[in-house]
Amino acid sequence: MSEIQFQSNVFEQKEEEVNIKRSQTDPEAFKPLYEKYFKNILLFVLRRVGEKEIARDLTQQVFLKALNKISKFELRGLPFSAWLFRIAINECNDFFKKTKKERIVTLDESISESLFDEIMADNQLEELKLKLPKILKSLKADELQLIEFRYFEIRSFREIGLLLNITETYAKVKTYRALDKMKKLFLEHP
Amino acid sequence: MNYKIINEPEITDEEINAMMDFRQVLEKHKSASSVRRFSYLSACVGLLVVVGLLLYQKSSSPIKSATQNQSVPSNLLKPKTKSTKSSDSTQSINNTATELPQVPTATKKIPKIVVSDHEQVNARPDIYIPAEPIEGYPHLYEYLNQNLKYPNEAAKDSIQGVESVAFVIDKNGKPSKIEILHSLGPDFDKEVLRILEQMPRWKPATLNAQPVPSKVSLPFTFRIKIQ
């Protein structure tokens, strides 16, 4: 499920803005932001690295980088949560580059049914569930990321665009291309 | 990239809360900030050493005058003479009809190299104040605008452009060592030399309150205004 709270209420938004502004001069003021987003970022990272300790270290690193760069964060630009997730995406990518570890794809029961609906007819559900790991492994890193964002974490195309720094339309186009590829792979796989 | 498919790792809220450690992030941030500050300090010290070496080399050379570039924005002076036809050799140039250009604010660059006799490099930062006209730059520009004349001899060739001049303001505030950096022709050089010799006095540059010679450069823009 999506962990980004883009639709927080006005009061929360104002409070967050105040904390961001204060953090730009006083690092101690970053604490409420850390506490608010720690869980979301940790779960996001954990789904990609699979190990709790690594996820914890990377999450700490995400917040450290955010704090180091908070003076450059502009309130009128990207939502703060999306900014944090972007840092998290980069941290995960760096981690896989440096360690050459396997990229983890977390599959569980909560995966959106809409993914299955997109790929095949109703009577092929069991077959798809069996084939899905293989199909996912055939995707490129950016394609997999889009499928995860859209169907595993149920993010809107707007959110996906913000996270990847692309337009909403392009996020949609790229996601549907990845889906088409998955459909073909499903039909091709024995 | 290789992927490994796993089921959702189980993690409880208690575990997540136990993982939170804002102090650790804060301490790392503070140490990173102090490293950055140290880097800036090192860079500044490095720069001082380089400048010091340059000063040392400069002071041991035969020329012991300070050089300073005080760049004044171009298009500072645009005496626009009224002529009937720029290419016509019989045209009359009305010098009294010179239009006053807008005077931009002078920008002063902090000199990279400042040299004075028997100068020693101290650990204490030097205080350098660049040379400036006694009555200020606006007054100087007004003088130049009012007095700079387009050379009549050059009108027939319709020469326009920028003539750049550098000169040294000596310790007494007098211009010397006038050097034409970019010439538009002998007539323009003559006019520029004439006007510089009569220009208002300058306050010399000072290094730690001691007057030092400094180099100043000025661009003069000559344009013909066609009526």
Q: Do B49 and B19 fall into the same domain?
A: yes
- Least Cα distance to A2 among A165, A156, A162 occurs for A156
- Residue A104 counted as domain residue: no
Nearest-10 Cα torsion for B115, B119, B121, B127: -60
In this predicted structure, what is the pLDDT of residue A65? 95
DSSP one-letter string for B47-82:
HHHHHHHHHHHHHTSS--------B--SS----EEE
- Percentage of chain A lying above the pLDDT 90 cut: 58
Chain A / chain B CB contacts < 8 angstroms = 87
Highest-confidence segment of A15-19, A86-90, B63-67: A86-90
- Residue A5 counted as domain residue: no
Q: Do A15 and A93 fall into the same domain?
A: yes
- Residue A125 counted as domain residue: yes
pLDDT (average), residues A39-65: 95
**Domain final residue, candidates A99, A128, A156:** A99
Q: Do B34 and B89 fall into the same domain?
A: no
**A83 pLDDT higher than 90:** yes
**B103 pLDDT higher than 70:** no
Highest-confidence segment of A77-91, A114-128, B213-227: A77-91
Q: Do A26 and A72 fall into the same domain?
A: yes
A40-54, A106-120, B106-120, B184-198: segment of lowest average pLDDT: B106-120
- Residue A105 counted as domain residue: no
ipTM for the complex? 0.79
Q: Does A106 touch chain B (CB under 8 A)?
A: yes
CB–CB contact A30 B22 (8 Å) = yes
Q: Does A189 touch chain B (CB under 8 A)?
A: no
- Residue B5 counted as domain residue: no
| Beta-strand relationship, B128-129 and B205-207 | antiparallel
- Residue B186 counted as domain residue: yes
Q: Do B49 and B112 fall into the same domain?
A: no
Q: Does A59 touch chain B (CB under 8 A)?
A: yes
Q: Do A55 and A86 fall into the same domain?
A: yes
Q: Do A179 and A131 fall into the same domain?
A: yes
Q: Do B47 and B109 fall into the same domain?
A: no
In this predicted structure, what is the pLDDT of residue B199? 85
> Do residues A39 and A83 touch, judged by C-beta distance below 8 A?
no
- Between helix B22-59 and helix A52-69 the angle, nearest 10°, is 50
- Residue A151 counted as domain residue: yes
The sign of the CA dihedral B180, B184, B186, B191 is: negative
**Domain final residue, candidates A99, A122, A137:** A99
Which residues are registered as beta bridge partners of B166?
B179, B217
Choose the mutation target among A44, A49, A56 for the interface with B, i.e. most B CBs under 10 Å. Answer: A56
Chain position carrying tokens 């211009």: B175
CB–CB contact A102 B28 (8 Å) = no
Structurally, chain B folds into a number of domains equal to: 2
- Residue A120 counted as domain residue: yes
| Beta-strand relationship, B80-83 and B214-226 | parallel
CB–CB contact B8 A30 (8 Å) = no
- Residue B8 counted as domain residue: no
- Residue B2 counted as domain residue: no
Q: List the CATH number of the domain containing A62.
A: 1.10.1740.10
pLDDT (average), residues A62-81: 90
pLDDT tens digits for range B138-175: 888 888 888 888 887 776 677 777 888 888 898 888 88
CB–CB contact A106 B2 (8 Å) = no
**B53 pLDDT higher than 70:** no
Q: Do A94 and A117 fall into the same domain?
A: no
User: Which residues of chain B neighbour A60 with C-beta distances below 8 Å?
Assistant: 21, 24-25
Backbone φ, ψ for residue B209 (5° rounding): 70, 5
From B42's Cα to the closest Cα of chain A, the distance in A is: 20
Look at residue B89 and give its three-state secondary structure: coil
> Do residues B44 and B99 touch, judged by C-beta distance below 8 A?
no
Scanning every residue of chain B, which has its alpha carbon at the shortest distance from the alpha carbon of A67? B29
Average pLDDT, chain A: 87
All residues at 6 or more sequence positions from A101 whose CB lies less than 8 Å from its CB, including other chains = A49, A95
A10-14, B41-45, B187-191: segment of lowest average pLDDT: B41-45
In this predicted structure, what is the pLDDT of residue B108? 41
Q: What band does B12 get if pLDDT is binned at 50, 70 and 90? A: very high
In this predicted structure, what is the pLDDT of residue B125? 67
- The closest CB to that of A67, out of B15, B19, B25, belongs to B25
Q: Does A108 touch chain B (CB under 8 A)?
A: yes
Q: Which one-letter DSSP state was computed for residue A78?
A: S
Reading the block at residue B112, the tokens are 């990279």
Q: What gap in Å lies between CA A88 and CA A148, rounded to an integer?
A: 15
User: Which residues of chain B neighbour A39 with C-beta distances below 8 Å?
Assistant: 13, 16
Structurally, chain A folds into a number of domains equal to: 2
Q: Do B115 and B46 fall into the same domain?
A: no
In this predicted structure, what is the pLDDT of residue A173? 96
In this predicted structure, what is the pLDDT of residue B48? 57
User: Which residues of chain B neighbour A104 with C-beta distances below 8 Å?
Assistant: 3-6
> Do residues B106 and B53 touch, judged by C-beta distance below 8 A?
no
- Least Cα distance to A19 among A8, A28, A6, A10 occurs for A28
Q: What gap in Å lies between CA A174 and CA A187, rounded to an integer?
A: 20
**B92 pLDDT higher than 50:** no
Q: Which one-letter DSSP state was computed for residue A30?
A: G
Q: List the CATH number of the domain containing B139.
A: 3.30.2420.10
Q: List the CATH number of the domain containing A135.
A: 1.20.140.160
Tell me the residue range of the domain where A130 lies: 113-188
Average pLDDT, chain B: 68
In this predicted structure, what is the pLDDT of residue B43? 56
- Residue A4 counted as domain residue: no
**B82 pLDDT higher than 50:** no
**B41 pLDDT higher than 80:** no
Q: Does A144 touch chain B (CB under 8 A)?
A: yes
Q: Do A95 and A130 fall into the same domain?
A: no
CB–CB contact B5 A133 (8 Å) = yes
In this predicted structure, what is the pLDDT of residue B138? 81
Q: Tell me which of B55 and B145 has the higher pLDDT.
A: B145
- Residue B3 counted as domain residue: no
Q: What gap in Å lies between CA A135 and CA B174, rounded to an integer?
A: 83
- Residue B4 counted as domain residue: no
Tell me the residue range of the domain where B154 lies: 64-226
Q: Do B53 and B148 fall into the same domain?
A: no
